[in-house]
Amino acid sequence: MSVKWGLLSTALINEAILAAAEESPDVDVIAVASRVEARAQSYARAHGIGRAYGSYEPLLADADVEAVYISLPNSLHGEWAVRTVEAGKHVLVEKPFSRHPTEVERAFDAAEAAGLVLSEGFMWRHHPQTARLIELVESGTIGRLRVVRAAFGFSLAEERGTADTRFDPALDGGALMDVGSYCVNALRLFGGEPERARGEQVVGPSGVDVVFAGTLAFSNELVGHFDCGFVFPRRAGLAIVGETGTIYVGDPFSIAHTGIEVRLGDAEPEQIAIEPANHYRLELENVSAAIRGEGQLLLGREDAVGQARTIDALYRSAAG
Ligand SMILES: NC(=O)c1ccc[n+]([C@@H]2O[C@H](COP(=O)([O-])OP(=O)(O)OC[C@H]3O[C@@H](n4cnc5c(N)ncnc54)[C@H](OP(=O)(O)O)[C@@H]3O)[C@@H](O)[C@H]2O)c1
């Protein structure tokens, strides 16, 4: 039986979630809430959503809504995750959950106490391309890992305008929070939890980091480094460097284009084709299956807390 979802806000990213839900027999979006009644009504009409609420609380009080997708600005994720769980609903909260580890822990404490599912929305982790990367590394294709390098950035002002919430320090904007959180997630996927984190940032006129570069030191002598930013044309990449070769991915996070390259010594690089997939759909289906008790949740407490701790450590290092 499909899980009945509600959307908390009319954020732009909802479009990807709605398109994914449309494709999936396991996911039904039955309600949307907005701070503004008229916006909720017109959004629901435009997207064929049955119920519209002019504030967030009534969606949490709707007895038919089983799970809530939280696509609010970053600084509101923690508070609304707790409120949603306290209202008895499962939660998929957009990345980055929070830069404050205690907030993430509080939300998971509440979810666990209520027996509810809570997950952070790193959709790239649900894509078969990422599963293939893990398989390649774990099967020893490139030997012992030594370096993981990630990059992600785009021109925020050009793509979204200067009023975007990511430019607002009060809403926990910033490049590390936005695109950098994927890089941190990738480094942690292959390195585990870092032992040390060092960061350097360039703060823009609005008061958020518009460029951030970080280094993470892991146990077993693996080093990760990344850079991210809001002030250059779109670029991304992931390189996983082992003692016998390197795995490259050109589009590791958005995954509009799939494909993995493996280079072993001087041999011709091997191109591994990956079937396209809708990772938003896979994410929704993973969380919905966990809600129904029919599958294992991919991203739970450990991942979200580790993620927030690392982001916090990087910001503290950059400020110090
Ligand atoms: N996984 C992904 O691929 C992906 C991609 C993009 C973004 N995201 C994440 O999704 C979240 C939303 O990003 P977005 O760019 O889609 O957001 P957005 O378009 O800026 O929308 C955020 C929504 O939050 C609501 N809101 C509540 N308080 C607000 C405030 N003080 N200022 C502005 N809006 C407020 C608004 O909805 P109402 O007015 O209707 O209440 C607004 O539409 C972020 O955490 C972001 O990191 C994830």
Query: Does residue 283's CB lie within 6 angstroms of at least one atom of ligand 1?
Result: no
pLDDT of residue 163: 97
If one counts every other C-beta atom within 10 angstroms of the C-beta of residue 6, the result is 26
Element (H, E) at 291: helix 279-291
Nearest atom (ligand 1) to Cα of 56: 41
Distance 33 CA to ligand 1 centre (A): 12
Confidence of residue 122 (pLDDT cuts 50, 70, 90): very high
Cis peptide before 58 (omega within 30 of 0): no
pLDDT of residue 302: 98
pLDDT of residue 248: 98
pLDDT of residue 93: 99
pLDDT digits (tens, 9 = 90+) for 229-246: 999 999 999 999 999 999
Query: Does residue 307's CB lie within 6 angstroms of at least one atom of ligand 1?
Result: no
Sequence spans of domains, the chain: 3-120, 128-276
Of 123, 82, 80, nearest to 105 (Cα)? 82
| Strand stretches in 178-304, DSSP E | 196-203, 209-217, 223-229, 235-242, 245-249, 260-263, 270-272
Percentage, residues of the chain above pLDDT 90: 98
pLDDT of residue 59: 98
- Average pLDDT across the chain, whole number: 98
Nearest atom (ligand 1) to Cα of 165: 20
128-276: CATH topology is: Dihydrodipicolinate Reductase; domain 2 (3.30.360)
Query: Does residue 4's CB lie within 6 angstroms of at least one atom of ligand 1?
Result: no
Query: Does residue 145's CB lie within 6 angstroms of at least one atom of ligand 1?
Result: no
What would the mean pLDDT of 182-208 be, rounded to a whole number? Answer: 98
Distance 80 CA to ligand 1 centre (A): 13
**Spatial distance between the Cα atoms of 269 and 80, rounded to a whole number of angstroms:** 47
DSSP 150: E
Contact 88, 114 (CB under 8 A): yes
3-120: CATH topology is: Rossmann fold (3.40.50)
Confidence of residue 121 (pLDDT cuts 50, 70, 90): very high
Contact 70, 33 (CB under 8 A): no
Confidence of residue 23 (pLDDT cuts 50, 70, 90): very high
pTM of the model: 0.98
- Residues, the chain, total? 320
pLDDT of residue 11: 98
Of 228, 149, 199, 226, nearest to 312 (Cα)? 199
Query: Does residue 39's CB lie within 6 angstroms of at least one atom of ligand 1?
Result: yes
Contact 246, 263 (CB under 8 A): yes
**Spatial distance between the Cα atoms of 309 and 114, rounded to a whole number of angstroms:** 24
pLDDT of residue 276: 98
pLDDT of residue 227: 98
What's the one-letter identity of residue 211?
Answer: V
